Structure 1
Amino acid sequence: MQIKTKKYQLDAKTYTPIAFSNVLKAWWWVWLIPAGLLLLFGVAAAIWSMAWLWWGIGVTVVLVGLYILFWYLQVVAITQHEKTKTLFEKYNYIITSKEILVMIDEQRGSPIAWDKIIKIAKNKEAYVLFLSKVEFFYLPFRIFGGDNQLKMFETILKRKGFNDIKTIETYAKKA
């Protein structure tokens, strides 16, 4: 059973929101730090003065803003860096039950074993196969040869143990 897709190039407008939301979800526990700080300043406000609460709100808002800005800039930098240009080249994929071949052209390609994929998500227009927090394959439904290939792909995913495919929302801007 082999599925050969059409060529597809991931663009930065699609990559950025998926990678950014995945990073924020992966580092979920960091959100406990501003909550703890706010609680600490709230206790200080209850004991001493209400001015502590306003300081706490201000510090928390600044920390949350800096944290979000830091990760957003990291993800956007990935789209600009020379070493990660290969993420945004045009590829076609040959998907089998053994591996995923990422093909640059008919002769050159790279195999990706199924055990390298840490999770799979699906949105209304594509499958997203995550290799890390910021590395993934974005496989739109339109690159498959039709409904039969999509069903075959879903069968391969189930056989590989990816039964709990999460549905995600992407906020990619349409060009």
Structure 2
Amino acid sequence: MIVKTKKFALDPKDYVSISFKRHMKTGWKWLLIPVAVLVLGLILHFTGTYKNWWIPVLSVVGGGLYVLFWYAQFYAASQMEQNKQMFEKFMYEIDSRQILVKINQKEGGIMKWESIQTAERTPDSFLLIIGKGQFLRFPFSVFNSEHDLKLFESILKRKELLA
């Protein structure tokens, strides 16, 4: 059985939002460094050991710059000329062997299931994770019927990508 989708494109705003949130879920540990420095600076300041506001201020600025850096990375990736292809409209034909990405009825490419690391079901879509900042997003609205949606989900479960 083949699941066919309507022709759709990934919105650059959705790409930035999803990529940034996914990165922050995995990279939040780096924010512990400025938080630890902030706490240490506040303890030293209020105990009178070292009265200086530079430590807490710089730790907050450093944490903010870390977050801003990663947001800017994903935003820039959505604006680059090399990545324009990610935001073009495609149709997909999905079966248990492969994902066929079609530009039109005659042109397209094949994506093997081995290139998909994991899959997630969000409240309004499926995300197929390929790598850091790389994913396929299938909103529920792009499936032609409820049957196609359930078939796609069962394929993901059979491939052990979706829990």
Q: TM-score, normalised by structure 1?
A: 0.85
CA–CA separation in structure 1 for the residues paired with 2:37 and 2:115: 38
Encode CA deviations 1:63-121: one digit per residue, 9 max, x unaligned. 11111111111111111101101100100111111111111111221211112112222
Offset, 1:47: 6.6
CA–CA separation in structure 1 for the residues paired with 2:73 and 2:145: 36
**Which letter maps to 1:80?**
Q
Pairs aligned (count): 162
CA RMSD of aligned residues (A): 1.6
1:139 counterpart = 2:123: no
Write out aligned runs for 1:102-113 (5 A). 102-113=101-112
Percent identical among aligned pairs is 38
Write out aligned runs for 1:116-127 (5 A). 116-127=115-126
Write out aligned runs for 1:1-175 (5 A). 1-42=1-42, 44-45=44-45, 46=47, 48-49=49-50, 51-52=51-52, 54-164=53-163
Offset, 1:36: 2.6
Offset, 1:48: 1.2
**Which letter maps to 1:26?**
T
Unpaired runs of 5+ in structure 1?
Answer: 165-175
Offset, 1:38: 2.3
Q: Which moved more, 1:73-82 or 1:108-117?
A: 108-117
Offset, 1:163: 3.4
Q: TM-score, normalised by structure 2?
A: 0.90
CA–CA separation in structure 2 for the residues paired with 1:163 and 1:68: 29
CA–CA separation in structure 1 for the residues paired with 2:162 and 2:23: 22
Offset, 1:126: 1.1
CA–CA separation in structure 2 for the residues paired with 1:13 and 1:24: 16
